[in-house]
Amino acid sequence: MFSLQTIFGKGDKFYGLLEASADAARQSATALSAMLAERSPTPALDEFRIARKREKDLFAQINLELVNTFVTALEREDIEALAGALYKIPKTVEKFAERYAMFAERLLEIDYSSRAQMLERACEVIVQMVGELRRGFKLDVMHDLNERMQSIEGEADRLLLELYRELFTNEKDAARLLMRKDLFELLEKAIDRCRDAGNVVYQIALKNS
């Protein structure tokens, strides 16, 4: 006997596409940590562009499949919302990498690695949350993962406040102050993008439980 999904287009393909999209976000975060660890005055941007292109291609494929598939594993608006939230993560990371590369020689002694590691942790949670969708909507598991994400985002907010205090107290070079502030805020924004994606996944789980 054929299921409706077999007849109308295998709607569960979206799980794989969304998982690949979450993995592309993690790929960009991993590339960022590696770039910052090198402390090169001329960092390469190839890995970020690869991750961003992968995410763009997946986003386009998801939208195409939504047009061509009659039955979807999740509601269409939920797939669109999650794909859009995931798409924004590598985009923000790439923006950080491009700006950092412009001024890397003047910023080598600044420690961005701890924030980049937080972003990696956030992306790992996103990968887990998206992966849980195909396993069923286990609210206890999703709740724990979402709480972990909220904790990472809250810690990032706290560190940003500490940064502002240190910046405006000790940084005497106005141009460098603005560069540092802009870059730290971009890292914070990338973590916020992860939080947003996590919220979408959690709402999907609540709706379908």
- Each residue's pLDDT tens digit, 42-88: 999 999 999 999 999 999 999 999 998 887 888 999 999 999 999 99
Between residues 200 and 10, which one has the greater pLDDT? 200
pLDDT tier for residue 11 given thresholds of 50, 70 and 90: low
pLDDT tier for residue 209 given thresholds of 50, 70 and 90: confident
Q: What is the pLDDT of residue 161?
A: 80
* Phi and psi based region of residue 2 (left: phi greater than 0; alpha: psi -120 to 50; beta: remaining): beta
- Each residue's pLDDT tens digit, 152-188: 998 888 887 887 787 778 777 777 778 888 898 899 9
Rounded CA gap, 123 and 88, in Å? Answer: 12
Q: What is the pLDDT of residue 9?
A: 44
Q: What is the pLDDT of residue 1?
A: 40
Q: Is 52 exposed, middle or buried (0-12, 13-18, 19+ CB in 10 A)?
A: buried
Whether pLDDT at 201 is above 50 = yes
Instruction: Write down the mean pLDDT value for the chain.
Output: 88
- Angstrom distances, CA of residue 142 to CA of 15, 55, 77, 133, 169: 16, 24, 20, 9, 41
The pair of structure tokens assigned to 127 is 């990968």
Q: What is the pLDDT of residue 208?
A: 87
pLDDT tier for residue 10 given thresholds of 50, 70 and 90: low
Lowest mean pLDDT among 2-6, 59-63, 188-192: 2-6
Q: What is the mean pLDDT of residues 117-134?
A: 95
**Structural domains for the chain:** 9-208 (1.20.58.220)
Q: Is the dihedral of CA 163, 192, 113, 141 positive or negative?
A: positive
